Chains A and B, each alone.
Chain A
Amino acid sequence: MSVFIAKRVLTLIATLIGASMVIFLVMEILPGDPALVILGVDASESAVQTLTKELGLDRPPLERYISWITGLLQGELGNSYAYKVPVWELVQGALLITLPLAIMSIILSIVLALVIGLYAAANHNKAGDVTLMGISQLGISIPNFWLAILLIILFAIELRWLPAGGFPGWDEGILKCLTALLLPSLALATVVGAILARITRSSVLEVFREDYVRTARAKGLSQRATLWRHVLRNALIPVLTVTGIQFAALLTGTVVVENVFHIPGLGSLVLKAINNRDTIVVENVVLLLATMVITVNFLVDILYAVIDPRLKAHDI
């Protein structure tokens, strides 16, 4: 087990180093001069040059990459070019919205998926199964921003149960914040939950055809006991894989829904930073997102080994 984890940790570090290089290179290639964007197109050449020097952008790329990484290792992210405040301050605020939003969405998705997927599998080819799978097909097809607008119309404008958008900030109390995040997470969870429900269903049905399920039934276990004790754990492996991928997508891909609800999350932050050519913010946020995605995958890998004992043996 420890060898298994050590291998995964090394992979994680190597991936992060690779990711940081790619991010830095892409931002180097990206046209547009931060100083010019900050000062405006009418700024004099000398002013632009002064600001470039001030921001440290006149140094060769390799030197800037190394100082970025050494800064990161010391917990120093640098200052935003556009806002002149520490990058961490900008990131922190956005992260505290996007992360809870993503977690809420994935929990909601998993609950939806397990309930729908297991019910559909248990009633394979019956009316309930067909109806639920039809609805889930619809759930996958609906663009989440459009669903978000529908949710706002129904729950915020017609019923007036939930706020239409915005985020009060964590100082206002947890309940208020979670209420504000409920509609956005519902919009996100519908699509993800629909995908996961279909995978749960097909995975459970597939495992039900396995020989060891027949063995369990031959022991005298009921259909239900077999489902819980023998089918579910085996069926969870593909569901877990896709959950990991979907969670990573939620962390990085909430920008559209964030915009619909006017929530200042990471997606909105990075979009603004790109427009401002605030490269230092972009680099740090993207690296942070990459870290989170890789960490999620790492956790999924560890969970595989917990679920399936064969994996440990293969990896050691």
Chain B
Amino acid sequence: MTLLSVQDLTVTLATNDGPARAVRDLSFTLEKGETLGIVGESGCGKSMAALALMGLLPSMSKTTGRINLDGKNLLEKTETEMCRIRGNRMAMIFQEPMTSLNPVHTIGHQIMEPLRLHKGLSDDDAHKETIRLLDRVGIPNPKARIDNYPHQLSGGQRQRVMIAIALSCKPHILIADEPTTALDVTIQDQILDLIQTLVREDGMALILISHDLGVISENTEKILVMYGGAAVETGRTDRIFEELVHPYTQGLFAAMPRLGRARSKRLVTIPGTVPDLISLPAGCTFTDRCPLATDICRETPPPVIEVKGQHFVACHHVEEARARKTEELFS
């Protein structure tokens, strides 16, 4: 059975200016041990989608659709049932390691918490397991470090502690929401390598969320490109990088700085800004910034078209997007 299957997930947030559709009709599947990358700009709904999976959205929000974990819809579960799933079957790592740990508790205490809660470990066993976990995520001298407070650790070490917390109960799915964005570039690779290794060793499925196409391309088997709360391009990572189709994905790729590019060339940007989620067009969310947009884009949601095996694009003008070179679209 498919481990996780998300169908038509829609998240509506209540804001002062009216309802904002942060996620619209998102669908994807995740098999055991599979890695999925969700990529998009800030504010495109990546984090909201992740929080919806965990059932941790702000209280003033509405979620519709289906989130099936082992065939059971999480949206129909009670809060008590969700508490048994969070941290146990599904765990999450966040973007800000500096503020994601409680400053008044030792890191040992914070890692032991889920072990005691879900596994019912005694203090003694939880302590031993925590030392093992700290060692596993690469914290040197774990026996002494277990009594440290978060402020005594560097950002990279704190993210390692967050990983230890997330992995403590051997979840089936690990959601990593921009796990390296707040870290130094040199540390970023170490943390991503660590996540990769641990995910592979434990046979976990991984959902890696990032705004960085490079990070996603190196670390995942499947990609989901999000814009304005909707998926615009999905498919196997290698297939997508063979041919970027959706104008937004092309723009995102063109905007990446690359070594070896002529200096005289300016870095490409996608004109315009991320759309306001409250006043999105009824049709394709990328309409206002898309060089190929026509009237139909604004009015009608784009059809999802399979361009090649396992490579789907949501666009009214797929053929034109494939025919035009990225350089022509964004220059």
A interface residues (Cβ-Cβ under 8 A, vs B): 210-212, 214-223, 229-230, 233-234, 307-310, 313
A221 close to B103 (CB less than 8 A): no
User: What residues of chain B lie closer than 8 Å to A221, measured between beta carbons?
Assistant: 83, 87, 113, 117
Residue of B nearest to A222 (CB): B83
A234 to B99, CA, bound (A): 13
Q: Which residues of the partner chain B approach A223 to less than 8 Å between Cβ atoms? A: 79
Q: How far is the CB of A230 from chain B (nearest CB, A)?
A: 5
Quick check: A219 and B165 within 8 Å, CB to CB? yes
Contacts of B79 in A (CB 8 A): 222-223
Which residues of chain B are within 8 angstroms of A230 by Cβ–Cβ distance? 102, 105
CA distance A222 to B165 in the complex (A): 16
Please give, as numbers and ranges, the residues of chain A lying within 8 Å of B118 by CB-CB distance: 220
Whether A219 contacts B87 in the complex (CB less than 8 A), given A230-B102, A309-B151, comes out as yes
Q: Does B321 contact A (CB under 8 A)?
A: no
A288 CB, nearest partner CB in chain B, Å: 35
The minimal Cβ–Cβ distance linking B239 to chain A, given in whole angstroms, is: 32
Tell me, in angstroms, the Cα distance from A219 to B114 when the chains sit together.
6
| B91 adjacent to chain A (CB < 8 Å) | yes
B-chain residues with CB within 8 Å of residue A309 when the two chains form the complex: 103-104, 149, 151
Q: Of residues 62 to 121 in B, which have CB atoms within 8 Å of A's CB atoms?
A: 79-80, 83-88, 91-92, 94, 96, 99-105, 110, 113-114, 117-118
Task: Tell me whether B80 and A222 are in contact (CB under 8 A).
Answer: yes
Tell yes or no: B225 within 8 A of A by CB: no
- Cβ contact within 8 Å between B101 and A215: yes
In the complex, whether B162 has a CB less than 8 A from a CB of chain A is yes
A314 — nearest CB in chain B belongs to which residue? B151
Nearest neighbor of B91 in chain A, beta-carbon distance: A218
Partner of A215, one of B88, B100, B149: B100
Q: How far apart are the CA atoms of A223 and B110 in the complex, in Å?
A: 16
* Residues of B with C-beta under 8 A to A215: 94, 100-102, 110, 162, 165
> CB distance A219 to B96 under 8 Å?
no
Q: Does B152 contact A (CB under 8 A)?
A: yes
In the complex, A218→B88 CA distance in Å? 9
Pull 9 A–B residue pairs with CB atoms less than 8 Å apart, ordered by A: A210-B99, A212-B100, A215-B165, A216-B102, A220-B85, A221-B87, A233-B104, A234-B104, A310-B151
Task: Tell me whether B267 is interfacial, beta carbon within 8 Å.
Answer: no
Chain A residues whose C-beta falls within 8 Å of the C-beta of B104 in the assembled complex: 233-234, 307-309
Query: Looking across the interface, which residue of chain B has its beta carbon closest to that of A207?
Result: B102
- For residue B282, which residues in chain A have a CB less than 8 angstroms away from its CB? none
Measured CA separation A233–B101 after assembly (Å): 14
Q: Give bound CA distance, A217 to B83, whole Å.
A: 8
Additional A-B contact list (18), CB under 8 Å, known A219-B87, A220-B85, A307-B104: A211-B94, A211-B96, A212-B99, A212-B100, A212-B102, A212-B103, A215-B100, A215-B162, A216-B102, A217-B86, A218-B56, A219-B86, A219-B165, A220-B87, A220-B117, A221-B113, A229-B113, A309-B151
B39 is an interface residue with CB less than 8 A from chain A: no
